[in-house]
Chain A
Amino acid sequence: MTGPAFQRCEDCRAAVHPRRVLCPVCGSRRLADERSAGRGVVYSTTTVHARDGRYNVALVDLDEGFRIMSEVVGVAPDDVRIGMDVRARADGERIVFDAV
């Protein structure tokens, strides 16, 4: 279980991230803590061209039904593609994704 933490609304079943007190969809207070299995798909991607090099910034749709910003690593930033299957792993404090 290496994916990001999220909440599941026990009333409307919405996946909620980041953490909230109230479900943003239905307003319920009943949000249960869960952890994603870490499987997802790249929703969009950009390569940031910084002075000290290039790196990927991606939006990843987790299979549980929420989206986070992250980085796809292990491939050249420009080779990250929308629709690519990715798998989460810990990178220090961060969660990053490998292409699968």
Chain B
Amino acid sequence: MPSDRLRGAVAVAGVAESRLGEVGPGVTPLELIAEAMAAALDDAGLRKGDVDGLFTASAYYGLPGVNVGEELGVRPRYSDSTNLGGASFVSHLLHAAAAITAGLCEVALVVYASTQRSEGGGLRSVVEANPHEAPYRPRYPVSMFALAAARHMHEYGTTREQLAEVAVAARAWARLTPRAFARDPLTIADVLASRMVSSPLTVRDCCLVTDGGGAVIVTSTERARALRRPPAVLLGAGEAHWHRAIAQMPDITTTAAVDSGARAYAMAGLGPADVDVVALYDAFTINPIVFLEDLGFCAKGEGGPFVAGGGIAPGGRLPVNTNGGGLSYTHPGMLGIFLVIEAVRQLRGEAGERQQARVDVALVHGNGGALSAQATAVLGTLETV
């Protein structure tokens, strides 16, 4: 298969976040992007002049690549502003691997930031109104995920308590993570009793709205070996999308993650049993349940029992979103880049109190839109290549 050429060809050589949480008024996303890039280059031991590939997506700028390039003084010879919503930055890993392997760039910067919390706390979005949805006033995107949750509960007996388990696990991880935004104790009863937004999802079933930026430096594995930090090698990646609007999704309990995951596993030559740490886009508590199923960690319909009893919490059967994820760590509109950053930290062994004992392989999965766009990456240590 041609995609075998990409297995192990590139690696993440640097990662960093900007300020997170609430940065206050008057700070632009571009400033956070600059902070994140500078810190990620320091992490990698590279300089701005080394960057010749630029990968970004934005809810602010219609032509995000050129806005970001101008701000940073980066003049890419390869520029990719693929926007798959929150899946973008996982997708960008795949695209960067292809570009670097084809010789179209050598050092790729994948970068994102938002200041949506300081602007008033709503989800900043460039998503167009759908004329077939708008007359019915769904709250985008939460109502779409609520519809998926309701159907999952109907078909498989998933319970609100099992949904709440996802939020409670995320909070338990966040309590081990100094930079996490939400670190107060959270119980299943707290989630169930919190304000209903779009049934069955309460406000505690929904991700945070924060500010923040992140940057990831990707280069050839060969070059990464000579740099400052242990490379996190891209073993496999895949992307897939089947629909845009939730009404166009044939079965709203099964996503295109089935395909993106299969592609990533096939390229990596690995399967779910080989994965030590998982990062899943948890915009809502139903998401990790569906993605654990679609990515093969359990059978379809078994996601609820899988997360029950602290299944994905610290000390559980599978460590998922070890920094607290979008539910408790940070969520500046699109989470994908932060999932990659956490996976890299776990692979490097620099995750502090939440560090898992042995991490050879990490899986990252991003979602965009209304369960629409899916992108999966499998990262490993140098020993796994």
Contact = CB atoms under 8 A, between A and B. Distances in A.
A68 B138 CA distance: 13
A57 B136 contact: yes
A43 B155 CA distance: 11
Interface string A2-29: 0000000000000001100000000000
A45 B146 CA distance: 8
Interface residues of A, number: 23
B198 A45 contact: no
Contacts, number: 69
Interface core residue of B143, B151, B196, B247 (most chain A CB under 10 Å): B247
A78 B199 contact: yes
B199 A46 contact: yes
A48 B138 contact: yes
Contact of B198 (A49, A59, A82, A94): A49
Contacts of A69: 132-133, 136, 138, 245-247
Contact of A48 (B139, B154, B195, B247): B139
Given A55-B137, A57-B143, A70-B136, A46 B198 contact: yes
Contacts of A70: 136
28 contacts: A43-B151, A44-B147, A45-B147, A46-B138, A46-B146, A46-B147, A46-B198, A46-B199, A47-B199, A48-B139, A48-B143, A48-B197, A48-B198, A49-B196, A49-B198, A55-B137, A57-B143, A57-B147, A59-B246, A59-B247, A68-B132, A69-B245, A69-B246, A70-B136, A71-B136, A78-B199, A82-B151, A93-B135
Interface of A: 17-18, 43-50, 55, 57, 59, 67-71, 78, 82-83, 93-94
